[in-house]
Structure 1
Amino acid sequence: MPVHRPGTARRGQHPHAVGILLAALSALALLLTLPGAAQSADTSDGRSARGDDVPQRGTARMGMGVVEHDGRGGRPSGGSAAQTEGVDVSSHQGNVNWSALWNSGVKWAYVKATESTSYKNPYFAQQYNGSYNIGMIRGAYHFATPDTSSGAAQANYFASNGGGWSRDGRTLPGALDIEWNPYGAACFGKSQGAMVDWIRDFLATYKARTGRDAVIYTATTWWKQCTGNYGGFGASNPLWIARYNTTPGELPAGWGFHTMWQYTSTGPVVGDHNKFNGAYDRVQALANG
């Protein structure tokens, strides 16, 4: 072992430690050049494509991307306009205590039915029938994954697996949940024009199957980014805007008003909470078509 003269060492310096550190850095640099080394792939819209960031397929739920972009939430500011409280749920909530929600003032509900063409919510029956049986007006929603199959294929799958509609006065038209992709690139790898075409394909197929125009659930930021702020659906498809704040904020192009507003992911009882833009009779009117 070499002997160092007293007084030659500086604070923080140790000759053997320096050598070990340099060797470790060299080994790390070599490791990162090897195939399969863990790296974070950049996507065109700035999201990470690392495997450890990707949830399991089927676990996506309404507002998942809104939490990432807007936070969990706000409470509506006071106003004189009538609004009706609602909730949306998925398998994330499991078996729902519908009595508690009803007693808290919730009068309508949307339940996740499907995702892509391969996933069905295993809690759908308890949630969809339970909300109906307690007295709520209820509907179903589909979480869109435009990178896995066509809009028509997903609309047909949705309509055949819980997303249908009947004129019973208690069933809302199906909702298309189109938002940030939790599994990869925010716009599902599609150009703005291709995204508009996919949405149009879904909406046309759903209407052909059910006779109703589907509700569109989205966030203005995503809509601008992924459709170029397309304004062609506002005349026929009710808007369900997602914004976790005290007001709905700016709406996507084509809509002069929102029909529903998801304002928080941390509801006072369970699920994401929403305001219908109108009194209870307007909820009934949407159900009746």
Structure 2
Amino acid sequence: MWSRDLDVLVPMWQGADDLRVREGPAALAALTAPGARRVTVPVPAGAAQRAGGVRNRAAVVDAYRAHRDVLARHRPRRLLTLGGDCAVEVASVAHLAGRYARRLFVLWIDAHADLNTPASSPSATAHGMPLRLLLDDDAQDALPTPACLSPRQVALVGVRDLDPAEVEYVRRHELTVLDAPTLDAQPTRLAALPPPDAAVYVHLDLDVLDPSVLPAVAVPAPGGLTAAALARSLTALRARHDVVGVGITEYVPQLAHDQQALIEVLTAFGLTDAPA
């Protein structure tokens, strides 16, 4: 089992503007052995008008502040975040960046880079902006939070559906990218990305899996990973590195699917009672 101080369930859906992902945290929690403490973050129930180039901005900001306050109260050093949409990751990663500073290394395992700003986003949804918020202050119209990561602290894994502005950002900042075909063929490549002394945070948007494997996600994208390759990658990562945080997002349990792929991945994380 992966030991952690706190599990936070953050049923925010407004960042994706997709009510379906609200059910994801509770469904994931039901499949996951609890850590030392489990808390559900109170988030707004409804939507809000678009503001500052972001849909439902007021609700997203309120949820972020509630999440941040829970983390400040419990002060975890090892943290599991079950979302909701990907915008929930901003508070969790920022909290651990405050704990581990430049030792923190973030593996952004996702079909999408989430590197848009309110100005560049075609959809104006906050769930396409969290990594940019963590890296740059130029996205703060979405959330009032200072950047806390440098490009050297991040690797993009499995990304394949990027907007033009995101492609340019990746190129300009020379972000490390490990694509899905490479990882499928060489699962141990994931463990080679963080520095030896890193404190690793793993962001997992379940849409990194191919839709044929797990269709129950908010924004499916073809060309993704198999569950077996992702599970082997995570097992190798945990064997070599200190994983201090995990975030799992964008699950839509209402859609028809076989849970076996999801259970395989959760087991590799050490989040179930089954041996990894």
Task: Provide the TM-score with structure 1 as the length reference.
Answer: 0.32
Higher alpha-carbon Rg: 1
Structure having the higher helix fraction is 2
